[in-house]
Structure 1
């Protein structure tokens, strides 16, 4: 019988290219409205200009938006989170890592919970967790025996919204977070066969369809539908034998997941 009391660690993915616009605008407002431009150092100014350029690319180049990968800043966040997980001893307690089948979540999960060792403790080669490549500059190529198993679960993917490849405008950079989300292609996943080649150490057997059949042009998942999906995901977690698990997902889904299982309002959660 599955354990009825479990410890679930919820982790939002690190910064992806689709997040750059909001982060950059926040920094620009601080510099302009509060006089930060007077004391900004050259190095930070160059970083900001680079972020502005990447923000523009993330709006006009489909490859930057479609199933967005992590930014260089995102990879730094992954490493920082990994250090915290290791230092706290959490890495040895996790029995299963559940991850949304999207590039940014897969990269975050592999980077945070993957081990540095190329071989396991017996000197035997293990399946590659995440291949190193252009979008995966991570050096942790293979998990050791200390690494928990990884499984992809589509129930915890981000809110399924209508994707739009409309042309870039500066007005789009000023849109609210929710509005930008609804006009982004970042929430449509690639084929599972593509992920399997890039992340061969992650189990994708629970994802029923190779192609993204949940995403449909012009159709947006309602809030009620997402909350029902969140409840189904909770029931699936409770049916597992593992007592302690980590879930690597997305901010909006995790927000609604907590609301769905607790019955709390948005203000109660403090988000």
Structure 2
């Protein structure tokens, strides 16, 4: 039986610093972000049933997982598995992770498993390129990996942009800068085992959708495809505009809102 997957966007991950010409590289959580994690810890349902925690190998996602899911990590002696396919979609400094060696040093002594994080995972080229086809491919690979896991209740901590690709859900995608996911928002999914098994499509559970939309009718396939196309084009346009001009303070503020 395929597992249930609870997708979580990381907590606030940008320090309130004045940056005139560039974005911060792989930022840590802010103090407010840490507080968001503690709130998530209290609000997350059925914490005791979680039997696997998976995270993008960026610092803000790993620390979100460590803080928010500390009780189950300790109680069940679990380690967070870092899956590079879950990294964010752009090649901005804030979305580019550390080397494997730097990650090992940063999280030395903490329950984090970097066995799947190989050299080059953060080069943002080829498989890791910030293009829609490459992102769609690694999102599919991440779903396939999750679907094949033996655990029954899996938490995935990732990023606002990438979670749209992972879940193939683009509803509300413009609610925040580049995403429809709020910091530490969580949504629950099951796998569709009756349609295109090789694609490992995910379906949001009724309880999760009701928490977000009440009784609003979900988008049909054509509506969802058109929304994805529009959202993807807007995201790529934002990135091109950023690199096509000198970064101004307003540009950095927009990136801060995103992370």
Residue matched to 2:39: 80
2:111 maps to 1:201: yes
Q: 2:63 aligns with which of 78, 91, 107?
A: 107
Please name the residue that 1:41 is paired with.
none
- Give RMSD over aligned pairs: 2.8
Matched, 1:187 2:95: yes
Contact 1:105 1:248 in 2 (8 A): yes
Counterparts of 1:248 and 1:146 in 2: how far apart (Å)? 18
CA distance in 2, matches of 1:77, 1:195: 23
State the structure with more CA Rg.
1
Whole-angstrom CA distance in 2 between matches of 1:76 and 1:252: 22
What is the TM-score normalised by the length of structure 2?
0.60
TM-score by length of structure 1 reads 0.58
- Runs of 5+ consecutive residues of structure 1 not aligned to the other structure: 21-53, 117-142, 162-183
- Matched residue SS, 2:93: coil
Q: Which has the higher strand share?
A: 2
CA distance in 2, matches of 1:267, 1:222: 17
Deviation at 1:251, TM superposition (A): 0.6
- Provide closer, same or farther for how the CA distance between residues 156 and 10 of structure 1 changes in structure 2, counting only shifts above 3 A: same
Deviations 1:204-231, CA, capped at 9 Å, x for gaps: 101122x545325xx9521111011101
Which residue does the alignment assign to 2:225?
265
Q: Distance in 2 between matches of 1:201 and 1:12?
A: 20
Which deviates more from structure 2 when the two are superposed, residues 73-82 or residues 220-229? 220-229
Matched ranges for 1:29-178 at <5 A: 54-57=16-19, 59-60=20-21, 65-85=24-44, 88=45, 90-115=46-71, 143-146=73-76, 148-161=78-91
Contact 2:80 2:113 in 1 (8 A): yes
Is this contact kept in 1: 2:100–2:118, CA < 8 A?
A: no
Map Cα deviations across residues 43-79 of structure 1 (whole Å, 9 max, x no partner): xxxxxxxxxxx2523x5476xx100111111111111
Q: Count how many residue pairs are aligned between Structure 1 and Structure 2.
A: 175
Aligned residue number for residue 168 of structure 1? none
Instruction: Measure the CA separation in 2 of the matches of 1:266 and 1:259.
Output: 12
Of the three residues 132, 149, 159, the one matched with 1:223 is 132
Quote how far apart the aligned CAs of 1:188 are.
1.0
Verify the 8 A CA contact 1:98 1:248 in the aligned structure 2: yes
Whether the 8 Å CA contact 1:13–1:250 is kept in 2: the answer is: yes
Residues in 1 aligned to 2:105 and 2:168: alpha-carbon distance in whole angstroms:
35
Q: Which residue in 1 is equivalent to 2:189? A: none
Residue matched to 2:190 = none
Distance 1:155 1:223 in 2: 14
Q: Contact conserved, 1:95 with 1:149, CA < 8 A, in 2? A: no
